Amino acid sequence: MAAAWSTTGLFAEELLKTPRIGEGPFYPDKLPLDTDNDLLLINEKITPAVGSITHLGGRILSESGEPIRNAVVEIWQVDNNGVYIHSGSSNRAKLDSNFQGFGRFLTGSKGEYYFRTIKPVSYPGRTPHIHFAVYQGGKRMLTTQMMVAGEQANKNDGLYKRLKNEKAQKAVLAKFEPIKNSKIGELAANFDLVIGKTPEAPEQRRPRPRPRRQNR
């Protein structure tokens, strides 16, 4: 979803910062060997993960709308069976071993990022969502979650309902739309993130290694 605008003065406009939403308990307790931006294929495996293939992209922006270059974007989510790669995730027996479950991307000169993943699915107690973390200069600047626009389960999701107003809720939504002429039903989703200047508390967030930029 495009970043929302809010007026801060007669001649000045700033982007609405993406709301912070907690990391949750399922950030990988052991990172996969493959942490690139293609979550559908792991290393040299040829069998892809199960799910609705989604091309997820967007930009990392400052509050003034400037693109943030060399920011590290991380995502993590459940597989098509609703299982995280975290060892404490429920229903581990149903884990899709072909789904990477976690990925990283280093933004380019326009602040752009890109992942190939699956459309998120729900699991008991949660609406479909993808977790995001954004780092700048080795510091985590934002932790949030992206949810699916038009998803009926959003209205009953505790974290979604906790957002303070409609603008904040819209700022964490992304549309998943069919890609024209895709023979396998691929989807595209765009989700811009706006970060502030204040890092999250360092005792709560550990800097992660910087990835190499990956091609689409």
Domains and CATH numbers, the chain: 12-177 (2.60.130.10)
Mean pLDDT of the region 83-104:
96
Name the residue type at position 109: S
Mean pLDDT computed over every residue of the chain: 90
Please report which confidence band the pLDDT of residue 206 belongs to, taking 50, 70 and 90 as the band edges: very low
Tally of CB atoms within 10 A around 144: 24
E-assigned strand segments in the chain: 5-7, 13-15, 53-61, 72-76, 102-106, 112-118, 129-136, 139-148, 173-174, 176-178, 187-190, 193-194
Which long-range contacts link 76-79 to residues 24+ away (Cβ below 8 Å)? 76/26, 76/27, 76/28, 76/101, 76/102, 76/103, 76/130, 76/131, 77/101, 77/117, 77/118, 77/120, 77/129, 77/130, 77/131, 78/120, 78/121, 78/123, 79/49, 79/50, 79/51, 79/118
Distance (Å, whole) CA 159 – CA 80: 21
Place 9 in a pLDDT band, splitting at 50, 70 and 90: very low
Edge to edge, the sheet with strand 139-148 lists 102-106, 72-76, 129-136, 139-148, 173-174
Q: Which whole number is the average pLDDT over 8-18?
A: 67
pLDDT digits (tens, 9 = 90+) for 104-122: 999 999 999 999 999 999 9
Indicate whether 83 pLDDT > 50.
Answer: yes
Q: pLDDT value at position 2?
A: 52
Average pLDDT over residues 62-88: 97
- Separation CA 195–CA 135 (nearest Å): 10
User: Considering the entire predicted model, what is its pTM?
Assistant: 0.88
182 vs 187: CA distance, rounded Å = 9
Quick one: pLDDT at residue 207?
A: 42
User: pLDDT tens digit string along 169-202?
Assistant: 999 999 999 999 999 999 999 999 999 999 997 6
Local confidence band at 3 (pLDDT 50, 70, 90 cut-offs): low
Q: What is the structure's pLDDT at 151?
A: 98
Instruction: Check residue 210 and give its pLDDT.
Output: 47
